[in-house]
Amino acid sequence: MNETTIPFPGEEGRLAKLSSAKLMMWVFLASDVMGFASLIAGYFYLRILSVDWPDSGELLNVTLTSINTVFLLSSSFTMGSAVAAIKRNDQKGMLRQLWLTISLGSLFLMLQGYEYFELSLVFSEVFDERPFSGHVFASTFFLLTGFHAAHVLAGLIYLGCIAVAAGRGRYSSENYLALDIAGLFWHFVDWIWVAVFLSLYII
Amino acid sequence: MKENGYSSWWFPPNISANYGQTLDQGTVIITWVTMIGGIVVIGLMLFAVIRYRYRPDRKALYLHGNFKFETTMLVLVTVFTLGGEFFVLGEISEGVWDKIKYQAPEDAMEIEVLAEQFAWNIRYPGDDGQFGETDNELVDEENPFGIDEDDSAAEDDVVTRGLIHVPVNVPVKVKLRSKDVIHSFFIPVLRIKQDALPGETIDVWFQAKETGEYHLVCAELCGLGHTTMKAGFVVEPLEEFQSWLEEKSEE
Amino acid sequence: MTTVTLDTVQSHKESFLTTYVFSMDHKMIGKQFLIASFLMLFLGGCLAMAVRWQLGFPDTPLPGGTLLPETMVDEDGFMLPEFYNVLFSMHASIMIFFAVIPLLNGWFANFVLPLQIGARDMASPLLNMISFWFYVLAGIIVLSGFFVEGGAAAAGWTSYPPLSALAGMGQTLWIIGVMILGFSSIMGSINYITTVFKLRAPGMAFGRMPLPVWAIFITAFMTLLATPVLTTAMIMLLLDNAFGTSFFLPELIVSGELTETSGGKPLLYQHIFWFYSHPAVYIMIMPAFGVVSEVISVFSRKPIFGYKMMVGSLISIAGMSFIVWAHHMYQSGLNATAAKFFMFTTIVITIPPTILIFNWLATLLGGNIRLRVPMLHALAFLSMFMIGGLSGLFLASTYGDIFFHDTYFVVAHLHYVLFGGSLFGIFAGTTYWFPKAFGRMMNQRLGQIHFWLTLIFFNLTFFTMHFLGFAGHMRRIAEPMNYPFLESTQGLHTFITISALILGASQLIFAFNFIRSIFRGKEAPANPWDANTLEWSVKNPGHGNWGLSVPIVYHGPYEYSHPEVLEDFLPQNRHQSGII
């Protein structure tokens, strides 16, 4: 039996197009979804059973955060553009879109930092000088958004490293897997925010 | 093996007037079924190991992927096991679970049990049948429930610690609470158990059909004193119960 | 198509550090997990011996007790109740998180998986190495609780709040350590899943994978999806324990003082914790299902009965494991509908393990059985795990559970599945793959003595506990003689303790055999058991496992006693026309 005629099953069919590295990212994201899901479920459990849950519309800055959400989701589109650019070997386009993504992501974090500052004053007043632990509303808010913000920060550092490598001409239309995978993580971070945002601010 | 009437290896006496009996019967059935099942399986295993032990002059039976046979076996095993289990477990649990946990009789006598590290506090509503108002701010050594003395309903409330008395053949509903950590209200002779969660009031009800002195114990790890957290549980005729209650209310 | 040449495989020089300490070779990492976990198993066992001493000989001070600090023992060397609580909490935590889970998912998974699918290593050797060191870090953090004020964690391995939230530094360290252990598990699972999808050798279709591979692969999905939920439970518990929040804490009165907590729900922790911990118990048994299936087939010289059914059962156990969790919470104040739902799902999930047992029996019947040491352990697994499963029926009933919840009946049940099941499975797999891992054979006679002593004294110790459960004996009780209705159980307690001490001592035989055989065991041939799977096709697998090219797979792994084959086995990488 000629060895070269028997393929590796992991390189056949649908698995052929999915590299190990990208598969690992997908698998990791599945676990991350469970993490967010359990935090959100815990949040709703506490909220539904609570007797004195404040009105999120009154305490939180829904307008500011809605705008912030638009920024974050836009960064998902710019990320997609960056990958599209390198696929057609447009180095300049890729770099531009990549740095735009990072800027939008950083803007998101900064605005969120500002909101945290504002809210700690508001929560202090409403919850007995204890902006974090004074009421489960505050604790769940900071925990959920903080867990997400940690992912955004990790994503920005990740994208930063990719951007530096990209600036050095590391990627091309033949070789852009690392960018693709980073993009996958970034899309996850952006879109899981929708679930967090809806749960905390809208529903 | 048996001291003060308590076995070291089988159920304690069962003084439950209702569903506690079902538990014992059901457990006996499950015991028989599992014992027989276990013996059959282990017996088959030992048979196989002896009957089919290695001999170099033979080969094992090469059974490979007979789909019909395997599927038939699969279906048989599933039907047999599921059927058996639903019958044994379902028959016993279904309905009974609701009744023991959630369907206290309307006329049950209410008492309040407040668990704490590491004691059981009991409150009787007294003649007016009403519990007095409580406030967590008022809780102290003398007043574990934090009863507001100004409330008129509180005047005849009787509080005991480490001791419960109940009348025989009367349904009793316990409003179970906890002050600090999770405890669990367990009276072995009544076959009832219910976790006491802080921040919740959970109902447990029972009816004892024999008099005697028994125990209430804690069945959820609650700290270093978990091993000492017990209370006397006394079942007595109604008149004796009432005179005991009066005696206590005078203290 | 990927081919790796001999050059790229052997191109880096290895120092002592990179060979034995910071290795990225899956076989070495597997052995690191093996050694570290066996050490933890030993420590967990010692803690259990101390627990049993207190129960069996309450009027005798703990041996060596006078050497312990006064936070643990009184001036005569008698154990304090608070230390008793530490002992059983840490015994369970160490056994679950640092012995059983890493032995199955760190030692077996790492060593066996790439070899059995014909891969050179895991998809990410670096991630693999990091997962081991996270395990070590987690262990150090959890054990450091013994040295802080207030002692180590004492709220049970379940760590229910408010008790655990109110506890001190030892508990805080426990929470952090468990979280980090979770990361180690998740890293491993990502690696295993990717490796099975991408790195199988030519011809290794999914339908030709040996059952240990399927078991590890499916377990990895459970680990991947359940462990993050443990992480979030731990995050919230940590915040409650150390940062004043109230996720799980309503307003409380502790030692006469009103706390500042409010609005939290203790039951929420239980839901989140058990959502992880129920799949966790399957994480702790499923790799053993794979190992035992393999061993039974190999030593019966017969194909495993119902391969497809076995795989289907493993998959359905994994899926259903996520919808049974609240059967641990029947008595917590769960509502009636929820309790009924969980009882229903719990009954249904008994079907796949029943199929597994049936199939193992069907494999034995008609076989040509060699009772080598791995086979002895596999047969013990079959019977002891079955007993554990049967005792579970008493607890599965919402109604029956009312009496048996939190009694010694549960302790008996859990030890039958975790010791009778997982640990015998671990012994089966370790004695089976020892020749491949260390190139030498373990001593058969010592192996048999260890096996019989373990089997006998395991049953004497734990079967007796079912009876204590019937007597209504609560668990986690430091001084049962405080309760008049338990006075008659002292005799049984002493009996159990003596059996347990002998059981513990018997494990030293295994330890001695294991260590001595690594250095002085008889040299092992490449395929001492005449097995079919790929790991036996190479004598001392080095870096990259195979030389110039990985093996080619021509058929499934269970071609034993084929009528058209001369020998009673046919390795997967040996071609014979007509057999696919």
Each residue's pLDDT tens digit, C190-208: 999 999 999 999 999 999 9
Closest approach of chain B CAs to the CA of C510, in angstroms? Answer: 24
pLDDT value for B91: 58
Contact B173, B108 (CB under 8 A): yes
Residue contact C247–A52, C-beta within 8 A: no
A180-194, B65-79, C360-374: segment of lowest average pLDDT: B65-79
The pair phi, psi for residue C124, each rounded to 5°, is: -130, 95
Kindly state whether C547 is in contact with chain B, defined as any CB-CB distance less than 8 angstroms: no
Each residue's pLDDT tens digit, A71-123: 999 999 999 999 999 999 999 999 999 999 999 999 999 999 999 999 999 99
**Tens of pLDDT, residues B47-61:** 999 999 999 999 999
Q: Which CATH number belongs to the domain containing residue C494 in this structure?
A: 1.20.210.10
- Predicted confidence at residue A4, as pLDDT, reads 57
Residue C222 with chain A: CB contacts under 8 Å: none
Residues contacting residue C329 through CB under 8 Å, at least 6 positions apart: C267, C270, C271, C274
In Å, how far is B248's CA from the nearest CA of chain C? 24
Q: Across the interface, do B59 and C561 touch by the CB < 8 Å criterion?
A: yes
Residue C13 pLDDT: 67
Between B141 and A130, name the one with better pLDDT: A130
- pTM (two decimals): 0.95
Give the number of beta-carbon pairs within 8 Å between A and C: 130
C touches which chains (3+ CB pairs under 8 A)? A, B
**In chain A, residues 76-135 whose CB comes closer than 8 Å to chain C:** 130, 132-133, 135
Q: Residue B67 above 80 pLDDT?
A: no
Q: What is the DSSP code (8-state) at residue C440?
A: B
Does the structure show a pLDDT above 50 at C62?
Answer: yes
Kindly state the average pLDDT of the residues C320-337: 93
pLDDT of the residue at C5:
40
Q: Is the pLDDT of residue C257 over 60?
A: yes
Q: What is the rounded average pLDDT of the residues C538-563?
A: 93
d(CA A105, CA A108): 5
Mean of pLDDT values over C360-373: 96
| Cβ contact C197–A23 (<8 Å) | yes
Tell me if C549 and A147 make a contact (CB, 8 A cut-off): no
First to last CA, chain B: 41
pLDDT band at C407 (very low <50, low <70, confident <90, very high): very high
String of DSSP letters for C309-351: HHHHHHHHHHHHGGG-GGGG-GGGT--HHHHHHHHHHHHHTTH
Mention every residue, 6+ apart, whose C-beta is less than 8 A from residue A183: A79, A80, A82, A83
Q: How many domains does chain C have?
A: 1
b/e for C129-161, b at 16 or more Cβ within 10 A? bbbbebbebbbebbbbbeeeebbbbbbbbbbbb
Q: What angle do CA A11, A14, A19 make, to 5 degrees?
A: 55
Indicate the pLDDT class of residue C7, thresholds 50, 70 and 90.
Answer: very low
Q: What is the mean pLDDT of residues C445-466?
A: 98
Using a pLDDT cut of 70, give the percent of chain A over it. 98
Contact C402 B192 (CB under 8 A): yes
Q: Which of C276, C31, C152, C104 is nearest to A38 (CA)?
A: C276
User: Does residue C559 belong to any structural domain of this protein?
Assistant: no
By the 8 A CB rule, do A107 and A113 touch? no
Q: Tell me the nearest-neighbour CA distance from B80 into chain C, angstroms.
A: 10
**Structure confidence at residue C4 (pLDDT):** 43
CA of C278: how far to CAs of C236, C259, C270, C301, in Å? 19, 32, 11, 35
Pick C203's closest partner by Cβ from A6, A18, A42. A6
CB B49 to CB C484 under 8 A? Answer: no
Q: Is C271 in Cβ contact with A46 (below 8 Å)?
A: no
For chain A, which domains are there? 32-202 (1.20.120.80)
Predicted local confidence at residue C568, as pLDDT = 93
Q: Which of C297, C331, C348 to mutate to test the interface with B (most CBs of B within 10 A)?
A: C331
Q: What is the mean pLDDT of chain C?
A: 95
Identify the pLDDT of residue C3: 42
* C56 inside 8 A of chain B by CB: no
Q: Which residue has the tokens 């003689």?
A: C481
Query: Average pLDDT of A158-172?
Result: 95
Contact C194/A at CB under 8 A: yes
Sign of dihedral through CA atoms C289, C294, C299, C301?
Answer: positive
Q: C512 lies in a domain? A: yes
CB contact under 8 A, C333 and B181: no
Percent of chain C clearing pLDDT 70 (strictly above) = 98
| Nearest CB to B70; choose among C82, C306, C333 | C306
Q: Which residue does chain C place closest to A50, by CA atoms?
A: C263
Sheet holding B158-161, edge to edge: B158-161, B119-124, B109-116, B172-178, B202-206
pLDDT of residue C81: 94
| Any A CB within 8 A of C126 CB | no
Highest mean pLDDT among A183-187, B245-249, C348-352: A183-187
Q: In chain B, list all ranges with CATH 2.60.40.420.
A: 109-250
Q: Which residues in chain C have their CB less than 8 angstroms from residue B194's CB?
A: 331, 333
CA distances from A142 to A117, A147, A149, B222, C374 (A): 11, 8, 10, 30, 53
Mutate to test the interface with C, among B221, B224, B226, B228 (most CBs of C within 10 A): B221
CATH class of the domain at B109-250: mainly beta
Do C350 and B64 make contact, defined as CB atoms within 8 angstroms? no
**Is the CB of C368 less than 8 angstroms away from the CB of B52?**
yes
**Is it the case that residue B218 has pLDDT exceeding 50?**
yes
- With cut-offs at 50, 70 and 90, classify the pLDDT of residue C256: confident
Residue A27, chain C, CB below 8 Å: the answer is yes
Query: Which of C197, C221, C238, C243 would you mutate first to test chain A, the one with the most A CBs within 10 A?
Result: C197
Q: Does A146 touch chain C (CB under 8 A)?
A: no
Question: If contacts are CB pairs under 8 Å, which of residues 229-288 in chain C contact chain A?
Answer: 229, 231-233, 235-236, 239, 243-247, 260, 262-265, 268, 271-272, 275
Give the domain range for residue C401.
29-249+268-518
Cα gap C85→B224, rounded to integer Å: 7
Burial of C264 (0-12, 13-18, 19+ CB in 10 A): buried
Q: Tokens in use for B134?
A: 């409580």
pLDDT score, position B92: 56
Of B52, B191, B215, the CB nearest to C367: B52
**C1 interaction partners in chain A (CB closer than 8 Å):** 4, 7-8, 11
Q: Does C356 touch chain B (CB under 8 A)?
A: no
Of B37, B60, B81, the CB nearest to C368: B60
Tokens 């039974």, residue located = C296
Confidence band, pLDDT 50/70/90 cuts, at residue B94 = low
Q: What is the mean pLDDT of chain A?
A: 95
